[in-house]
Structure 1
Amino acid sequence: MIRSAVSGLALAALLVGAGAQAQEQGPAAPTATLTQPPPRDPSELQVLFWNDEQRSQRFRAMEEWFAGHEVSGAAMPRTLIDGDPLSEALQTEIAALMAKTGTAGVMVLVDGKVRYEGYGLGLGPQDRWTSFSVAKSFTSTLLGAAVKDGHIASLDDPVTKYIPGLAGSAYEGVTVRQIATMTSGVKWNEDYTDPNSDVAQMNRFTIEYGPDAIVAQMKALPREAEPGAKWVYKTGETNLIGLLVENAVGMPLAEYAKTRIVDPAGFEGGLFWMVDPRGGNIGGCCLSIRLADYARMGQFALEGGKGVVPEGWFAEATDSAVDFGDSGFGYGYQWWTYPQATYGAQGIFGQAITIFPKERVVFAYVGNWAQASGGPERGQFLDLARKIAASVE
């Protein structure tokens, strides 16, 4: 569980090299526009070293700091009507925890109706907030859409079918399903205190290999276990999923997300998704949307993504393919699984979408927690979400 809180740190190395080098992938697309920020000194792009004030300001304006694709909101946004407010005691508890932890927004949906909506840190309903590793669950959903659309024949296909550059590497014989569950058996070190770790080397590969950085780094990794036998968290592997989907569908993730997530889920605001030097989107992180659209994404998953992903996709994707001992926590297809058939997406500095299918509750929050890897905050918010879900049974 602690590893889940720090997973998005792999982003930092990639971000430094992702700005001015980005190029539009393929012909210009009518639904996705590449935006470029003003030139910045590389030292200003070290997200993990931004101070508290900088994070609070910049997390809601990442398009001013990094290159990315913009897509518009849905032509017919999903209306989120107000339901009965949560009890005053619960509202007070939410507000107190938000203030204590530096959380910028919380929204609670029950049966698709807004039961709580609160903001802090200067965030408003029309503002966007960056996602970090919550984006992994978006990328997983686009993987499902690519299967539904026939671009990916099967999750049991070899990864090399869609990323030929990995042929002959440790990914030979690894399936799409195995990278979706991070059980490829390929060795990876995501130790953020070790300058020689794989995650720390991502920036070096970006600088040296530019558009080929993802494949160059991942194909150099050795195998440490048979495919399917061992779970190791690898943000680099989620970036592979993004590349795989883009290769399969022939467009950037953001453009595909417009018709497979933004429109069907009824996002009211636009989506911004950072690009890497290829001009493709970063599968493991870095999309920005409104708080209400985080909640709409949760509702979309709760309702099964009908017509977008294969029937039963979310039930499969959010079922634990990997159990972390007998803790009740586990991992599915880029979704974290929690005790009592609950699941969610989460990212560093405090963003999450937590879903309680039985109680029909979606609990979404975005924030600027003091530490990227978090302290007790993640558990405190999960406990609070459980209390809310129990109150509506």
Structure 2
Amino acid sequence: MKRHLKRLLRALVVFAIILAGFGIWKREEIQRLWAVNSLFSAEKIVHNFSNMNAAFLTTEISRGAGPVSTLHQGSEMTLPADTEAWIAERSVTSLLVLKSGEIRHESYYLGTEPTDRRISWSVAKSYLSALFGVLLDEGAIESIDDPVTKYAPLLTGSAYDGATIRNVLNMSSGVTFDEDYLDYDSDINRMGREVALGGTLDQFTADLSETFVAPGEQWQYVSIDTHVIGMVIRGATGQSIATLLQDRIIAPLGLEQDLYYVTDGEGVAFVLGGLNIATRDYARFGLMIEQDGLYQGQQVVPADWIAASTAASAPTKPGKIGYGYQWWVPVGAEEGEFLARGVYGQYIYIDQARDVVIVSTAADRRFREKGVNQINIEMFRKLARIL
């Protein structure tokens, strides 16, 4: 009995040593997974959204060597009486309003500052759309009606086999993907853990095998569609998204700060939601888009791509919010009214007719409640229309 007990104790000691060694070897992965699992907790979410590089692998994107483009301060606007209540209710962390390229309001909340590089979430999709438009114009990609497998052969035999680039730009791929952020086992949360543990998103995407409808027949928001756009771009150019975005989009804008992408274990940018940028620099991008791709005398993105990508071309249901090529078009939108939107309350709202750009970042844990998105849009409309 004593001999058996000694053997058991020795085995436990060996197991403990192995476990400790594994913990040291995989310490960063374990720390990232722990951080991901508490990413949206009430007491940490605001801090986490300004410090995503503590939870994920990242790659820096240089702002470029050019001078900072000046955002002039205009006369301070008078905010509507209900703005303060909206800011508190929606856990807004920053609000910046541009009118004719001038700052008419800028404020920060919940301990955030102008230098914070806030996580974009799905606002990043609209950045990728702009980059895609540049590369299409350059001829790197022949047509948006090409099959995605032409540029991303890894997807041959996957759920994306048969989908066109237009389909994924429009979020009408027909691929089955559960995007419930509140379900631990949903596809979107499994994907998040894959990124945190250093997995590869290309393979994760290629492993998707189910569709619910033929490509192009029905709109359904499927974030992994945006990763496929990234795969197409990388396959067509042989370059990373970070390099292309820095050269084609970021450098001409004269940003104040460098930015960074969250990446997977192979250094592939998390294009569907992984950009981290300061509020004023989000505004510079929004201003370029609002000006039909023109910024300080340089045509950064083709004007015809801005028009096409921000039109409600996806097969959405009548009376519901519209969708273009990775841009949203609100219900009842006036001409030139559209927006980039990310979960938990990230927005770049654009009203071209009024020459207004509004950036709002937030840590709104109730963003999925019914009517919240429309409440936010109505606040942006109110701000735009009183200027």
TM-score (norm 2): 0.83
Query: Does the 8 Å contact 1:104/1:366 carry over to 2?
Result: yes
Query: Does the 8 Å contact 1:321/1:332 carry over to 2?
Result: yes
Instruction: Say whether 1:301 aligns with 2:265.
Output: no
Distance 2:369 2:256 in 1: 30
The AA in structure 1 aligned to 2:279 is L
Query: Does the 8 Å contact 1:147/1:310 carry over to 2?
Result: no
5+ long unaligned stretches in structure 1? 1-19, 22-36
5+ long unaligned stretches in structure 2? 1-24
Instruction: Say whether 1:278 aligns with 2:266.
Output: yes
**More deviation in 340-349 or 93-102?**
93-102
Query: Does the 8 Å contact 2:262/2:274 carry over to 1?
Result: yes
Distance 1:216 1:207 in 2: 13
Could you say which residue in structure 2 is the equivalent of 1:11? none
Change (3 A) 1:323 1:82: farther
Distance 1:194 1:46 in 2: 12
Change (3 A) 1:85 1:323: farther
Distance 1:115 1:203 in 2: 37
**More deviation in 314-323 or 366-375?**
366-375
**More deviation in 321-330 or 268-277?**
321-330
Query: Does the 8 Å contact 1:246/1:280 carry over to 2?
Result: no
Counting only pairs closer than 5 Å after superposition, residues 31-70 of structure 1 correspond to structure 2 as 40=31, 42-48=33-39, 50-70=40-60
Counting only pairs closer than 5 Å after superposition, residues 71-110 of structure 1 correspond to structure 2 as 71-74=61-64, 75-87=66-78, 89-90=79-80, 93-110=82-99
Query: Does the 8 Å contact 1:181/1:321 carry over to 2?
Result: yes
Which of 116, 120, 127 is matched with 2:109 structurally?
A: 120
Instruction: Say whether 1:340 aligns with 2:334.
Output: yes
Query: Does the 8 Å contact 2:55/2:196 carry over to 1?
Result: no
Could you say which residue in structure 1 is the equivalent of 2:384? 389
Query: Does the 8 Å contact 2:151/2:235 carry over to 1?
Result: yes
The AA in structure 2 aligned to 1:224 is F
Could you say which residue in structure 2 is the equivalent of 1:361? 356
TM-superposed CA distance for 1:376, in Å, is 4.7
Query: Does the 8 Å contact 1:350/1:365 carry over to 2?
Result: yes
Change (3 A) 1:72 1:38: farther
Distance 2:126 2:365 in 1: 24
Distance 2:251 2:193 in 1: 37
TM-superposed CA distance for 1:204, in Å, is 7.5
Q: Deviations over 1:4-53 (max 9, x none)?
A: xxxxxxxxxxxxxxxx99xxxxxxxxxxxxxxx897252222255x4223
Query: Does the 8 Å contact 2:163/2:215 carry over to 1?
Result: yes
Query: Does the 8 Å contact 2:148/2:163 carry over to 1?
Result: yes
Q: Aligned to 2:348, what secondary structure does the other structure show?
A: strand
Distance 1:100 1:196 in 2: 29
Could you say which residue in structure 1 is the equivalent of 2:322? 330
TM-superposed CA distance for 1:320, in Å, is 0.3
The AA in structure 1 aligned to 2:188 is V
TM-superposed CA distance for 1:210, in Å, is 3.3
Q: Aligned to 1:381, what secondary structure does the other structure show?
A: helix
Q: Which has the higher contact order (CA 8 A, sep 6+)?
A: 1
Could you say which residue in structure 2 is the equivalent of 1:142? 131
Query: Does the 8 Å contact 2:29/2:197 carry over to 1?
Result: no
Query: Does the 8 Å contact 1:70/1:273 carry over to 2?
Result: yes
TM-superposed CA distance for 1:169, in Å, is 3.3
Could you say which residue in structure 2 is the equivalent of 1:223? 211
TM-superposed CA distance for 1:206, in Å, is 6.3
TM-superposed CA distance for 1:208, in Å, is 10
TM-superposed CA distance for 1:297, in Å, is 1.2
Change (3 A) 1:57 1:105: same
Query: Does the 8 Å contact 1:77/1:263 carry over to 2?
Result: no
Could you say which residue in structure 1 is the equivalent of 2:3? none
Change (3 A) 1:262 1:230: same
Instruction: Say whether 1:171 aligns with 2:165.
Output: no
Distance 1:379 1:326 in 2: 16
**More deviation in 383-392 or 110-119?**
383-392
Could you say which residue in structure 2 is the equivalent of 1:160? 149
Counting aligned pairs with the same residue, the percent is 32
Could you say which residue in structure 2 is the equivalent of 1:10? none
Distance 1:101 1:254 in 2: 31
Query: Does the 8 Å contact 2:171/2:314 carry over to 1?
Result: no
Change (3 A) 1:206 1:365: closer
TM-score (norm 1): 0.82
Distance 1:206 1:369 in 2: 23
Q: Deviations over 1:311-348 (max 9, x none)?
A: 31111101001254342621111111112231111111
The AA in structure 2 aligned to 1:340 is E
Query: Does the 8 Å contact 1:52/1:368 carry over to 2?
Result: no
Distance 2:196 2:47 in 1: 28
Change (3 A) 1:263 1:189: same
CA RMSD of aligned residues (A): 2.7
Change (3 A) 1:221 1:194: farther
Could you say which residue in structure 1 is the equivalent of 2:257? 269
Change (3 A) 1:193 1:61: closer
The AA in structure 1 aligned to 2:141 is I
Distance 1:77 1:194 in 2: 42
Runs of 4+ in 1 over 6 A off after TM superposition: 204-209
Could you say which residue in structure 2 is the equivalent of 1:314? 306
Change (3 A) 1:156 1:107: same
